[in-house]
Structure 1
């Protein structure tokens, strides 16, 4: 992120980028050189009566703040990504179970609240995946899956250089079944994210031990220290993830699986055993390269900015 005083920086044609998450909203202005300025994180507002409008009010306030802070920047478009099921072409958030909206017209409302500024709307993981493919760990690949592992698991699937969308339903890898899966909050039984997500690792460890670990990192530390319950939970998560990746290899012939989200920060302690587990399960299949995101927590924000620039006819 840039730390130059606004008066000493040439911004050119700029875009605003917003990444709405379950906990916070990330926001930044991106200048004509692709540099982000004034990254902000604010709590995601909650309003049970009007959840979509609460997001619109917060984002529009942030947008006006950027225009005031950077008067010399020519803001040309706004990139905006949200979780859940989305209709990217219509600009509608179909449903977000954790945040409460249904069939909310985000793109239209943002245009109305921001002087009809063009709005590039998309799915958070889908656009994070596109950013990873264009400027991150997926550069040069045509067949890859970007797998975001956090509280849950979601993915962006790329085949022959294009993201598979399937009306917003593609990429729900966390809800593919694995033999070790348990009852899932989605209503199905056996979902990958009930074992392999960071949230599942914490929940399963605490249920077994009565402890109150607050993150998967704490479980991994306990496993390193030789605690059997922690090691079992971690190993079972890796095995479940390997099962999911092998399904991707068999169905898609993917060249690489790029890991993002909080669990990817475990580095070699995740990728090492995951590579070995995947390799042991495959035969004639293309063995996908297991990589870690290079964009990290800013992948969604970068995806929003690239989507906005694509709307203006600039190369993504």
Structure 2
């Protein structure tokens, strides 16, 4: 059976798998992202993962690789990622396999998967995965929008509190410093946002205060986005979406209050959940099959700061 090897590279975890053309995940595997070890080690880990996934497994025969990574991305290069500290990494550095390889932006790819397979069926949609960080996939008039330089959707760096908490990007008061799953966990000294939610449900006031601040920051950023681009719906994905109504209900309420003179867009959870990025990477891979993709032997230069 023909399939593509797909990898969604996150700040904490790499999700990989073999995916059929109809979106069926035939095989799935997770590996840690060695972010603390530096850009070269992350690239090496991606290369090893792609190599392992690209080998035939029983009747499954990969015909291409789809790779979704964060930061500024072109079809030929991972131009920049603050999360991993790399610059101008060619697609050829990520794999040694002799298959078509398609590289794309992780959140934009996940947003396209939502359009194809999931909840985002509208023509004007914001897909917002919230995990280690926050970024958005902007869909305008039915098409993904990257902006003039490919930076559209960096919602995690909208300042929600001028001179607030420091953010990894170098600014202060960014949405991601308050509402990302990573920030929520760190502010409570917990390993994950899930632990914070558990404490809040048990009546812990400190955890509840951090959660309220996250909701308030998220509602403010979404109100700003709504007033600028008027989406029909906002689809929340990523690990934090697993909180369900504990997140969605207060965000809907505060967003409606901040949009006093107009109705708020629908806010809903991703139907694809944490698999959106993997399926987005698979769509990149199938697109590479259709258009020839790029191949390992087209270059082997690596670029890291």
TM-score (ref. length: structure 1)? 0.83
Asked whether the equivalents of residues 31 and 73 of structure 1 are also in contact (C-alpha less than 8 Å), the reply is no
Q: Which has the larger radius of gyration?
A: 1
CA pair 120-228 structure 1, distance change in 2 beyond 3 A: same
Asked whether the equivalents of residues 175 and 192 of structure 1 are also in contact (C-alpha less than 8 Å), the reply is yes
Asked whether the equivalents of residues 156 and 174 of structure 2 are also in contact (C-alpha less than 8 Å), the reply is yes
Structure 2 counterpart of 1:218: 195
Structure 2 counterpart of 1:172: 154
Looking at structure 2, the residues matched to 56 and 313 of structure 1 have their Cα atoms a distance apart, in angstroms, of 23
Structure 2 counterpart of 1:227: 204
Asked whether the equivalents of residues 249 and 285 of structure 1 are also in contact (C-alpha less than 8 Å), the reply is no
Asked whether the equivalents of residues 144 and 254 of structure 1 are also in contact (C-alpha less than 8 Å), the reply is yes
Structure 1 counterpart of 2:184: 201
TM-score (ref. length: structure 2)? 0.86
Looking at structure 2, the residues matched to 45 and 152 of structure 1 have their Cα atoms a distance apart, in angstroms, of 16
Asked whether the equivalents of residues 45 and 54 of structure 1 are also in contact (C-alpha less than 8 Å), the reply is no
Give the root-mean-square deviation of aligned CA atoms.
2.2
CA pair 188-310 structure 1, distance change in 2 beyond 3 A: same
The correspondence for 1:273, drawn from 244, 250, 258, is 250
Asked whether the equivalents of residues 86 and 122 of structure 1 are also in contact (C-alpha less than 8 Å), the reply is yes
1:108-138 Cα offsets, whole Å, 9 max, x none, are: 3457x222x2112101111011101211110
Structure 2 counterpart of 1:4: none
The answer to whether 1:243 aligns with 2:220 is yes
Alignment of 1:282-297 (within 5 A): 282-297=259-274
Asked whether the equivalents of residues 17 and 53 of structure 2 are also in contact (C-alpha less than 8 Å), the reply is no
Moved more, 189-198 or 29-38: 29-38
Looking at structure 1, the residues matched to 192 and 39 of structure 2 have their Cα atoms a distance apart, in angstroms, of 31
The correspondence for 2:62, drawn from 75, 93, 99, is 75
CA pair 246-101 structure 1, distance change in 2 beyond 3 A: same
Greater relative contact order (CA < 8 Å, ≥ 6 in sequence): 2
Q: Unaligned regions of 5+ residues in structure 2, if any?
A: 292-305
Q: Unaligned regions of 5+ residues in structure 1, if any?
A: 1-10, 207-211
Looking at structure 1, the residues matched to 212 and 42 of structure 2 have their Cα atoms a distance apart, in angstroms, of 39
Structure 2 counterpart of 1:100: 85
3-state SS of the aligned residue for 1:154? Answer: coil
> 1:53, CA displacement in angstroms?
4.7
1:137-162 Cα offsets, whole Å, 9 max, x none, are: 102x0111111112221111111111
Looking at structure 2, the residues matched to 293 and 277 of structure 1 have their Cα atoms a distance apart, in angstroms, of 20
Looking at structure 1, the residues matched to 243 and 42 of structure 2 have their Cα atoms a distance apart, in angstroms, of 34
The answer to whether 1:310 aligns with 2:287 is yes
Looking at structure 2, the residues matched to 221 and 240 of structure 1 have their Cα atoms a distance apart, in angstroms, of 21
